[in-house]
Structure 1
Amino acid sequence: MEFKGTTDPIAAEGWIRSLEIIFDFMQLTDADKVRCTIFMLRDDARVWWEGARLTVDLATLTWAEFKEAFYAKYFTVDHKTRLARDFLELRQGDLTVAEYVRRFERGCYFVPMITSQPGEELKHFTEGLRPAICHDVRLSRVTTFREAVDQSLMSERDRNKMVKEAQNKKLSYKGRDQQEPGKKKSIPGQYPGK
């Protein structure tokens, strides 16, 4: 899993997170994490590291210190600020609930002041929902973010089902109205020719 460098901070951060999952599974020490990560740097990332290594003591470099240097290069304060602002302005709009939840959960990482307080997290999530979905979510009964997500997904599913049923009814009525043009519909109890 090489890293060649990127201008996309989300890709850089995703790479580090992927490594951390592997490192946790393998139960590596800090020194092993750093050595393994340095080994996987290629191209522009390798050039960056060649300069960065002159400012650190490799013998005592911790994983946290390596990540700090890495993020200073690939995940600047400006990027974090922009992502935090995007999260604070996040609204469902035309997104499905699942897409909104994915973006919300991604943004939570950048705004710990909200996500460290379950009540604030729940409030921010529900305020960003489309009004129709938000209205359906039983806010008085929902006490956690997970419950709000479940309620929102159910609400969207039910609304989509109702829309589909209404469209099917409309199509079936349209189909009956367009039966054999020119032929008069008979009304039960009426006799033709009288």
Structure 2
Amino acid sequence: MDKFTQKLQASLENIQPDPEKKYGIERLNALGVVNFEGTKDPIDVEAWMNQIGKCFEVMRCPEHRKVSLATFLLQKQAEDWWKLLKNRRGDQEEICWEEFRKAFFERFYPRSSRDMKQDEFLQLMQENMTVAEYELKYTELSKYGLYIVVDEKERCRRFETGLKQEIRTSVTTIA
């Protein structure tokens, strides 16, 4: 019986998935993640970071693996930036994911660009858009106003404020 138990245990060990593969670059590739070469277009920067974030969520990737996986995907200008950042930090402890995200956005999505998007959100008006188009644009830009529009009531108020006067009057009367 003891020999049987040993064989069974050995075969079970052979079937268990390799944790390196579970949280590896192959899994990211299978999920459709792409390399990031660096860009001046904030939309591309945001899209890449959102994509990799969603992949990490689906993979249930542990925090300590995220930076090494993300930086593996950096190419050209982005890879040069990462090497320089690591070199400047020297032998300090490993950079955590949130610290990496912050440094990444500071480099590839400057504060001035984010401020412009926030201003665009704050100044958004329906004007010649349909209500559906306005709602779509409002939703798209609202992520830049998360610290301004902190609850549902404020979100609705700000949305109504941007509507054309004749529509706003109807909405306010109904509410």
Q: Same fold (TM over 0.5)?
A: yes
Question: What amino acid maps onto 2:155 in structure 1?
Answer: E
Question: 1:102 & 1:77 partners in 2: Cα distance?
Answer: 24
Q: Is the aligned partner of 1:26 residue 2:59?
A: yes
- Residues 84 and 110, structure 1, Cα contact 8 Å, conserved in 2: yes
Q: Is 1:36 the counterpart of 2:69 in the alignment?
A: yes
- Pairwise CA distance, 1:134: 2.6
> Residue in 2 aligned with 1:72?
106
Q: 1: distance between equivalents of 2:114 and 2:68?
A: 26
Retained in 2: the 8 A contact 1:5–1:45? yes
Structure-2 residue corresponding to 1:2: 35
Candidates 127, 134, 137, aligned match of 1:103: 137
**Could you say which residue in structure 2 is the equivalent of 1:177?**
none
Unmatched tracts of structure 1, length 5 or more: 143-194
Deviation of the 1:20 alpha carbon: 0.7
Cα offset for 1:128? 0.7
Number of residue pairs the alignment of both structures matches: 141
Give aligned-pair identity as a percent: 28
1:30 positional shift: 1.7
Paired with 2:94 and 2:83, the residues of 1 have a C-alpha distance of: 17
TM-score, with structure 1 as normaliser: 0.65
**Is 2:175 aligned against 1:125?**
no
Counterpart in the other structure of 2:23: none
Q: 2: distance between equivalents of 1:73 and 1:108? A: 23
Q: Which has the higher helix share?
A: 2
Offset of 1:13 from its aligned partner? 1.4
CA RMSD of superposed structures (Å) = 1.9
Cα deviation, residue 141, structure 1: 4.8
* Unaligned 5+ runs, structure 2: 1-33
DSSP 3-state at the match of 2:38: coil
- 1:115 alignment partner, SS class: coil
Q: Which has the larger radius of gyration?
A: 1
| Distance in structure 1 (CA, Å) of the matches to 2:53 and 2:105 | 14
**CA displacement at 1:97 relative to structure 2:** 2.5
Instruction: Kindly provide the CA deviation profile for residues 44-102 of structure 1, in whole angstroms up to 9, marking residues without a partner as x.
Output: 21122121222346852111010011011012121121111111101112223333222
**In structure 2, what residue type is equivalent to 1:34?**
V
Structure 1 residue 50 corresponds to structure 2 residue 71? no
Deviations 1:129-170 (A, max 9, x none): 123333443x3554xxxxxxxxxxxxxxxxxxxxxxxxxxxx
- Name which structure has the greater RCO, CA cutoff 8 Å, separation 6+: 2
Structure 1 residue corresponding to 2:120, chosen from 86, 103, 110: 86
Alignment check: 8 A CA contact 1:114 1:121 kept = no
Deviation at 1:110, TM superposition (A): 1.6
Q: Which amino acid is 2:156 matched to? A: L
Aligned-partner Cα distance in 2 for 1:140–1:41: 53
